[in-house]
């Protein structure tokens, strides 16, 4: 059965138009030529115009896609093995993977990815384009746009040949109840212990929390804080903006750190600290004042 190629040329990209003009031949042969030049375009033409049953027609859904269904409340997709409360909202573009558990009144924003076996407690709100894997989220949490929780931590070893070898990162990240996490914050999963954030803690935007970190309850962590791996932070700790904490450091409860401070060793007493390296705030202020006076004299 012959047909006119101009109908296809009108919807084809310009890069294929000249080729299509030279393809004024029978239907089956034209499909073969298009598929040779452009597999994507050829597939589209085959689906739209093919009547020859000898040419396999592309199935809309692969076997993997058939495992995912459309959620009635919001239009997102979920794996048929996931357990989702009927009151949960999964917006269009969100995906809930296999064996995930989504609690009552949870709201999953568009573009969010809830990975396999992730647990989300009731009344938790997940923003747009977040990624959750290898983690558990508590009740009544707010996870803002772009947050990543449960990815591998930055752990490597040097082998005998001097090459960097990845250290296994096999544990989870656990977020308590009533926790709020700001946009584009990253919380790594654990390697030798779970990474944990205690109840009622609040985390600002652009915070990095490394693997194996333990944060107590009711902590306040301001923007651009960086916490290296295996740090232990007590309860009611406040970290000002851009505070840096080196790995394997312990910080006692009820410690407050001034902005831009750097913790290089354990802090065992409650109180206010600041500077680089961090020290009791009164001592740091005296050092700053002395330094300023010295500069004034030199000038």
DSSP state of 262: E
Angle at 137 between CA 132 and CA 140, to 5 degrees: 125
Residue 258 tokens read as 């001034």
| 211 among known catalytic residues | yes
Residue 157 tokens read as 């070893």
Question: Which candidate in 107, 144, 178, 211 is catalytic?
Answer: 211
Residue 27 tokens read as 């239907």
**Residue 286 and residue 260: Cα distance in Å, rounded?**
17
**Residue 216 and residue 250: Cα distance in Å, rounded?**
12
Place of tokens 């090459």: 163
**Residue 284 and residue 150: Cα distance in Å, rounded?**
37
**Residue 126 and residue 140: Cα distance in Å, rounded?**
10
**Residue 6 and residue 26: Cα distance in Å, rounded?**
13
Residues pairing with 257 in the sheet: 239, 273
Residue 47 Cα to chain centre, angstroms: 36
Query: Helix/strand/coil (H, E, C) string of 7-43?
Result: HHHCCCCHHHHHHHHCCCCCHHHHHHHHHHHCHHHHH
- Catalytic residues, by residue number, are 211
């Amino acid at each position: 059965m012959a047909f006119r190629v101009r109908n296809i040329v009108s919807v084809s990209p310009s890069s294929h138009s000249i080729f299509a003009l030279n393809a004024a031949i029978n239907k089956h042969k034209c499909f073969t030529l298009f598929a040779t030049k452009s597999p994507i375009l050829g597939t589209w033409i085959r689906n739209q115009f093919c009547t020859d049953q000898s040419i396999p027609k592309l199935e809309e859904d692969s076997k993997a896609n058939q495992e995912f269904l459309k959620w009635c409340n919001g239009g997102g997709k979920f794996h048929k093995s996931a357990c989702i409360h009927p009151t949960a909202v999964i917006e269009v573009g969100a995906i809930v993977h296999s064996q995930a558990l989504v609690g009552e009144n949870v709201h999953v924003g568009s573009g969010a990815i809830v990975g396999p076996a992730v647990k989300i407690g009731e009344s938790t709100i997940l923003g747009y384009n977040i990624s959750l894997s290898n983690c558990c989220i508590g009740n009544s949490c707010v996870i803002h746009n772009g947050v990543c929780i449960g990815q591998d931590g930055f752990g490597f070893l040097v082998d005998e040949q001097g090459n960097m070898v990845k250290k296994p990162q096999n544990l989870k990240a656990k977020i308590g109840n009533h926790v709020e996490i700001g946009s584009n914050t990253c919380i790594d999963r654990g390697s030798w212990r779970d990474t944990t954030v205690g109840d009622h803690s609040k985390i600002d935007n652009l915070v990095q929390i490394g693997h194996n970190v333990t944060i107590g309850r009711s902590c306040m962590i301001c923007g651009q804080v960086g916490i290296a791996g295996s740090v232990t932070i007590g309860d009611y700790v406040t970290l000002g903006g851009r505070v840096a904490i080196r790995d394997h450091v312990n910080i006692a409860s009820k410690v407050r750190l001034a902005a831009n401070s750097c913790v290089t060793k354990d802090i065992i007493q409650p109180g206010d600290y600041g500077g680089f390296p961090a020290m009791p705030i009164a001592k740091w202020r005296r050092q700053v004042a002395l330094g300023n006076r010295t500069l004034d004299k030199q000038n």
